[in-house]
Amino acid sequence: ATALAVFSSDALSSVSYATEAILTILVLGGSVALGLSLPIAAAIAGLLLIVGFSYRQTIHAYPQGGGGYIVTRDNLGDLPGLVAAGALLIDYVLTVAVSISAGVAAITSLATNWGFPTLRDHAVEIALVCILIVTIANLRGAKESGFIFSIPTYAFISGILSMIVFGIAHDLMFGADPVVHSIDPDIPPTGEVLSLWLILRAFAAGCTALTGIEAISDGVQAFKPPEARNAAITLTLMISLLVTMFLGITWLAYTHQAVPNEFTHETIVSQIARTIFGVGPLYVFIQIATALILVLAANTAFADFPRLASFLSRDRFLPRQFSSRGDRLVFSNGILVLGLCSAVLVVIFQANEIAMLPLYAVGVFTSFTLSQSGMVRRHFRRKQPGWHYSAMINGIGATLTGIVLVILMVTKFVHGAWMVITAIPILVMVFRAINQHYQRVAEQLSLSGAILPPELRRHTAIVLVSGIHRGVLPALQYARSIAPDNVTAVYVDLDPEATAKLRQRWQNWGCDIPLVVLESPYRSLINPILRYIEEVESRYGDDVITVILPEFVPARWWEHLLHNQTGLLIKTALRLRGTVVTSVPYRLAR
Amino acid sequence: ATALAVFSSDALSSVSYATEAILTILVLGGSVALGLSLPIAAAIAGLLLIVGFSYRQTIHAYPQGGGGYIVTRDNLGDLPGLVAAGALLIDYVLTVAVSISAGVAAITSLATNWGFPTLRDHAVEIALVCILIVTIANLRGAKESGFIFSIPTYAFISGILSMIVFGIAHDLMFGADPVVHSIDPDIPPTGEVLSLWLILRAFAAGCTALTGIEAISDGVQAFKPPEARNAAITLTLMISLLVTMFLGITWLAYTHQAVPNEFTHETIVSQIARTIFGVGPLYVFIQIATALILVLAANTAFADFPRLASFLSRDRFLPRQFSSRGDRLVFSNGILVLGLCSAVLVVIFQANEIAMLPLYAVGVFTSFTLSQSGMVRRHFRRKQPGWHYSAMINGIGATLTGIVLVILMVTKFVHGAWMVITAIPILVMVFRAINQHYQRVAEQLSLSGAILPPELRRHTAIVLVSGIHRGVLPALQYARSIAPDNVTAVYVDLDPEATAKLRQRWQNWGCDIPLVVLESPYRSLINPILRYIEEVESRYGDDVITVILPEFVPARWWEHLLHNQTGLLIKTALRLRGTVVTSVPYRLAR
Ligand SMILES: [K+]
Ligand SMILES: [K+]
Ligand SMILES: [K+]
Ligand SMILES: [K+]
Ligand SMILES: [K+]
Ligand SMILES: [K+]
């Protein structure tokens, strides 16, 4: 039972914005067009049933849990698998940005009806704080208590279902009151012609209702045994609830003439709930439950994103930093990247979830289509008993989601989907470049055929100094000890006055090490040093040359920012040319 | 003549938003209140004249150029100087953000009247691109050609003056037509009570007209000799132009009933210009000249900010990275910080310059008040001929700007000035912390009383390995050469399988160096290493211990991101405890 709550928050929470997404498009066709929301919602509900049915197959085929990446890569190969992975990573970022923004919208709508309309002006800040809290909670790895997690989900389901039942009953008996707006929304009197294009756009917008339904098939192994069977039952239950709530909300929005209001930014659910229940405890309950289930939905992405990233990293398509090398900080990098990316999206879109929706759903439908196609291929390969039937179901799912994907890409392209459609191939190219890199490195580091390098002959040491002070002395001593017969100190002359002073003090404190002063006609620090090292290398070709850097270590962490930036630059330049560098630290006490 | 153009763009450009700032506040009191714009503007014009007169004194006292920081620190001491510096740094950031946003508003207003109202939706993106361009131009250090710079300034002055003359003449002969709006602005019918508070707020808003007039006294040395006299003449000319244009625009706004329009976001100057000239070439000329002079105003901050930062850095109140160590990249860091901070402001305020104005002017009035007070103190100290008269002028200036500063802080506090008022003391604390740090370091590194550290006895080497491959061999050889009689290789066991494989291969490739495998019960990498080093230190107390890290150097720059993050972490940890670390790089060919 808690499994339903944990895995379905992402899917069920979508009903809080899916209807609004449809109406936002239809309203462009004037108030006449709004009636079309019902047939469009019915078409989406049909799609939901078919895709859900198709996903049952995946659950039975991958009882150990099969995300879009694994199912696709397994059955269709690397490239389609990487496309699915890129699409899913993007979709997880959008899940966080959309869900948090929609949650904030639920709260600001509540505030507006309580007489605080100005809270809406701080939507971006509130959303960023929410993302920060969820990120930190996930970084600290709070044990996910299924029980606590189930409360908002059940509260949301019961709140929305009561609203639908009570609302429809009330409407039948007394007729439906239209929503009253504090500021009237702007409905274009004639508007865009009500075209097939507009209907397709509205349908595409409503397809966000399907986002999140893949969660159960990704996490089959978390169910009680028999896992596959329980997961399939949960999936059926979830799809039924999703269809009921989505159709119910759309119906009530129609009968109560709810429309998106660009001035108050009040959500459709808030408009309906207060019209049916009045601004009382039931209304408040629904708004808070909506906000909480949306935060929960965002939270699921914080488990999914790092997991997918670690799969990709394990397969060497993402940097090793995303995979656990057994460290406690397993998923930290994935969590941080997800938190950061979603925060950037929230700022760019000013926490307006409706504006983000054109980017959403494209990724998840890409993954739907690919993984269903993968399932079809699998059935054809394995030809297990009853494979014809299963292949047909997955084939219908793949075809339908593929058609919807094309509709999504075409209708949403100029409204933002182009960003996702461009980003997916770029991500795939990055994945492949990383993979090729790791392969090249492994080949070059292989010991097969290697020979031991020759014994080292003599050491030559070069100490880089930027002056003479206590922090330099240990480095000079160290240099003398490793290369007693060939050590020089090198200084770059940027200011004749300072140079003269250094020369003079070197007599007393230079430890008898010869001081070489380099001219720098272009006032650069690094070039003269690199040129000098080259010269030394050609002179003492057989020696191993060590560059020694005195570094002082400040006592406080922030003080490091004030120092050693040049030292870092020099070390990087020397590393690139393959020179041995030794840091001799000098710790400051305070 | 070009001096006027270069130094006055910041000051003169303010007239493009100062009137609008006043009207934005007054409109809250209903359309009746709008008539108060004239007396308020007159009061601000008076203030302008007095402050300008007071600044003439500074010009004569500091012919080598005296910014607020130098004049204040010179006469009142460190702390007030730092307050002035902090206030000015913030104001430079706001100069860029406000000017660029206002420039974009001029262009989007033009676009709206050409039938492209949707350009306004991309104001943030356009503003960010402008900031990027100005930042890059300043980083590349394009020679500032006074001639090219003077074109927008003169175009702006002549455009605005013609509009004022033609407008007033036309009004006198034919009467003034009210501005026609495509969407009517929202004027509250009764609105806030027209209170003294509202009038003070409107006055405070209009004080943005004074921003930028300090530029001439900051740059006296750039004038032709006699510098002080030419600068003073230029200042007088600039103040006259500023007063004329500001009063003229406010007058025309009044007679043509121009009001800020929150729907079209059309600027007041655009409303007036198109009402007087129609949407023709003259209107286009004014809008483009306005946009260009505002970009120029932003550009001046890109010279001022890095210069002030380098003064502060020279006095050790900011990190050394901001002062020229004779490098060609003198001001790069200051330019980058300014570009970044102003870009952040533009995003936060969505390129709405009117929303940023409550933050603006607070900083510059702080600097006005402090530097004028400093001048008073100076006169009292030096008692040069005529000092009574000069002290009186500066005293009046200081008192007036001080009073206005209090008005600004009180009336604008909740509308955003609190951010500046909080940020200034924080900046001052940062300045002082940095200064104390540099002092502490200098004391601790001083050679007075130092004794040469003892000769180093024997070397102990520890090679950290994460496996055995070609990249490790040179590090093992290096370790053997510096510490032939005491070297070990250290490996942290995170995975028993990998460890067994390593032990086996070590037989062939380990160069006869003993391999120490550390257990890591908590799966951490760094803690076992640090514990081992401590143990070795206590065992071989007299030795110098060198930790040797094999590092391989990828062939492409981006590949570095995929490696050595753990190495970096280890190096940092070792540096903090004062351990000598040697990197032995192994370069990959591809
Ligand atoms: K859903
Ligand atoms: K969702
Ligand atoms: K999702
Ligand atoms: K000004
Ligand atoms: K200004
Ligand atoms: K300024």
Q: For A480, what's the count of Cα atoms within 13 Å in the CB-facing half-sphere?
A: 16
Q: Does the beta-carbon distance from B445 to A552 stay under 8 Å?
A: yes
CB contact under 8 A, B325 and A446: no
Whose tokens are 């404190």? That residue is A509
- What percent of chain B has a predicted confidence (pLDDT) above 70? 95
Task: Give chain A's mean pLDDT.
Answer: 86
Between strands A544-553 and B544-553, the pairing is unpaired
CA distance A321 to chain B (A): 8
pLDDT for position A143:
57
- CA B481 – CA B473 distance, rounded (Å): 13
Q: Which two tokens stand for residue B216?
A: 């001439």
Amino acid at B452: L
Confidence of residue B564 (pLDDT cuts 50, 70, 90): low
- By three-state DSSP, how is residue A25 classified? helix
Please tell me which residue of chain B has the smallest CA distance to A325.
B494
Whether the ω angle into residue B521 lies within 30 degrees of 0, i.e. cis, is no
Question: From CA A130, how far away is CA A136, in angstroms rounded?
Answer: 10
What is the distance in angstroms between the Cα of B273 and the nearest Cα belonging to chain A? Answer: 30
Task: Please tell me the distance from the alpha carbon of residue A416 to that of residue A409, in angstroms, as a whole number.
Answer: 10
Which range has the worst mean pLDDT, A189-193, B176-180, B395-399?
A189-193
pLDDT value of position B326: 46
Higher pLDDT, A521 or B468: B468
The mean per-residue pLDDT over the stretch A236-262 comes to 90
Lowest-confidence region among A389-403, A537-551, B170-184: B170-184
* pLDDT bracket for residue A326 (50, 70, 90): very low
Judging contacts by C-beta atoms under 8 Å, the chain A residues touching residue B542 are none
Check residue A293 and give its pLDDT: 92
How far apart are alpha carbons B358 and B407 in whole angstroms?
A: 12
Instruction: For residue range A304-314, list pLDDT tens digits in order.
Output: 898 888 889 88
pLDDT above 70: residue B319:
yes
CATH architecture of residue range(s) A459-587: 3-Layer(aba) Sandwich (3.40)
pLDDT at A188 over 70: no
A565 CB neighbours in chain B (<8 A) are: 321
What per-residue confidence (pLDDT) applies to B549?
92
Q: How confident is the model at residue A564 (pLDDT cuts 50, 70, 90)?
A: low
| Residue B364: per-residue pLDDT | 85
Please, are residues A9 and A152 in contact by the beta-carbon 8 Å criterion? yes
- Which residues are near ligand 5, the ion (C-beta closer than 5 Å)? B 10, 14, 211-212
- pLDDT confidence of A300, banded at 50, 70, 90? confident
Distance CA B424, CA B362 (A): 10
Nearest ligand (C-alpha, residue B364)? 6
Residues contacting residue A578 through CB under 8 Å, at least 6 positions apart: B553, B585, B586, B587
A191 pLDDT tier (thresholds 50, 70, 90) = low
Residues from chain B contacting residue A337 (CB–CB below 8 Å): none
pLDDT band at A2 (very low <50, low <70, confident <90, very high): low
Helices (H), B114-226: 123-139, 146-174, 196-206, 215-218
Contact B580 A575 (CB under 8 A): no
Six token digits for residue A307: 């997991």
Distance between CA atoms of residues A538 and A519, nearest Å: 20
Residue-range domain boundaries for chain A: 2-437, 459-587
Chain B residues in contact with A561 by the CB 8 A cut-off are 319
User: Which two structure tokens, joined as six digits, stand for A388?
Assistant: 């014809």
Q: How far apart are CA A339 and CA B399, in angstroms?
A: 50
pLDDT reading at A397 higher than 50 = yes
CATH of range A2-437; options 3.20.20.210, 3.30.70.20, 3.30.830.10, 1.20.1740.10: 1.20.1740.10
Mutate to test the interface with A, among B508, B549, B574, B575 (most CBs of A within 10 A): B575
Q: Distance from CA of residue B292 to its chain's centroid?
A: 20
Convert the pLDDT of each residue in A457-500 to its tens digit: 788 999 999 888 888 888 998 998 888 888 999 999 888 888 99
Which pLDDT score is estimated for A578? 87
| Residue A145 neighbours by CB under 8 Å, 6+ apart | none
Smallest Cβ–Cβ distance between A470 and the set B445, B556, B584 belongs to: B445
Give the Cβ contact number of residue B170 at 10 Å.
Answer: 14
- Degrees to nearest 5, angle at CA B483 with B479 and B489: 45
Using DSSP bridges, classify how beta strands A459-464 and B580-587 pair: parallel, antiparallel or unpaired.
unpaired
Residue of A nearest to B350 (CA): A350
Asked whether the predicted pLDDT for residue A329 surpasses 60, the reply is no
Interface test with B, best of A502, A559, A574, A579 (most B CBs within 10 A): A559
Percentage of chain A lying above the pLDDT 90 cut? 31
Residue A547: pLDDT band with limits 50, 70, 90: very high
Strand stretches in A465-553, DSSP E: 487-493, 515-519, 544-553
The answer to whether residue B142 scores a pLDDT higher than 60 is no
> Following CA atoms A153, A156, A158, A160 in sequence, which dihedral angle do they give, to the nearest 10 degrees?
-150
Q: How far is A10 from chain B (nearest CA, A)?
A: 30
pLDDT in tens, B153-168: 889 999 999 999 998 9
**Interchain pair A511, B590: CB under 8 A:** no
Q: So what's the pLDDT on residue B240?
A: 92
**Beta-ladder partners of B515:** B489
Decide: A53 and A212 in contact? Cβ < 8 Å: no
Test the B interface: residue of A444, A462, A492, A549 with most B CBs within 10 Å: A444
Interface touch A575/B589, C-beta < 8 Å: no
| Of the candidates A420, A424, A411, A42, the residue with the CA atom closest to the CA atom of residue A205 | A411
Q: What is the mean pLDDT of residues A540-556?
A: 86
Binary contact (B523, A478; C-beta < 8 A)? no
Q: What average pLDDT score do residues B87-114 get?
A: 92
Order of all β-strands in the sheet with A580-587: A515-519, A487-493, A459-464, A544-553, A580-587, B580-587, B544-553, B459-464, B487-493, B515-519
Calpha distance A171→A283 (Å, rounded): 17
Q: Tell me the two tokens of residue B99.
A: 């000017």
- Give B226-283 pLDDT, tens digit per residue: 878 888 888 888 999 999 999 999 999 998 888 888 788 889 999 999 888 888 888 9
Nearest-CB residue to A561 (from B319, B470, B477): B319
A584 CB neighbours in chain B (<8 A) are 580
Residue B325 has pLDDT above 80, yes or no: no
Q: For B285, what's the count of Cα atoms within 13 Å in the CB-facing half-sphere? A: 17
Per-residue buried b or exposed e for B551-587, using 16+ beta carbons within 10 Å of the residue's own CB: bbbbeeeebeebbbebbeebbebbbeeebbbbbbbbe
Lowest model confidence (mean pLDDT) among A9-23, B84-98, B339-353, B519-533: B519-533
The pLDDT mean for chain B works out to 86
Q: CA–CA separation, B428 vs B82, rounded Å?
A: 6
Task: Tell me what the mean pLDDT of segment A204-221 comes to.
Answer: 83
Of B497, B517, B506, nearest in space to B473 by CA: B506
**Cβ count within 10 A of residue A325:** 15
pLDDT at site B130: 93
Is 0.90 exceeded by the ipTM?
Answer: no
The tally of CA atoms less than 13 A away on the side-chain side of residue A515 is 22
When CB atoms are compared, the residue of B434, B523, B579 closest to A328 is B523
| Alpha carbon distances (Å) from A442 to A106, A277, A366, B549, B552 | 52, 66, 33, 19, 12
The pLDDT tens digits of the residues spanning A418-431 come to 888 899 999 999 99
Location of structure tokens 């989007």? B108
Cα of B494 vs its chain's centroid, Å? 47
A376 by Cβ neighbours in 10 Å (0-12 / 13-18 / 19+) ranks as: buried
Q: Is the dihedral of CA B71, B74, B77, B83 positive or negative?
A: positive
Provide the pairing of β-strand A580-587 with B487-493: unpaired
Element (H, E) at A42: helix A37-61
User: How many angstroms separate the CA atoms of B94 and B356, rounded?
Assistant: 8
Per-residue pLDDT averaged across A10-37, rounded? 87
B245 Cα: distance to centroid of ligand 5 (angstroms): 14
- In a mutational test of the A interface, the residue from B317, B565, B582, B586 whose CB has the highest number of chain A CBs within 10 Å is B582
Mean pLDDT of B30-38: 82
Task: Identify the pLDDT of residue A257.
Answer: 86
Greatest C-alpha distance within chain B: 104
Read off the pLDDT of each residue in B416-421 and give the average, rounded to a whole number. 87
Question: In the predicted model, what is the mean pLDDT of residues A362-378?
Answer: 88
Whether residue B196 is predicted with pLDDT greater than 50 in this model: the reply is yes
**B327 with A583: Cβ contact below 8 A:** no
Query: Nearest to residue B48, comparing CAs of B80, B8, B88?
Result: B8
Q: Which residue has the higher pLDDT, A28 or B428?
A: B428
Confirm if B16 and B286 have CB atoms less than 8 A apart.
no
What's the mean pLDDT in A173-178? 79
- Chain A residues in contact with B128 by the CB 8 A cut-off are none
> Residue A329: its chain B contacts at CB < 8 A?
none
Q: Do A588 and B444 touch (CB under 8 A)?
A: yes
| pLDDT of A238 higher than 80 | yes
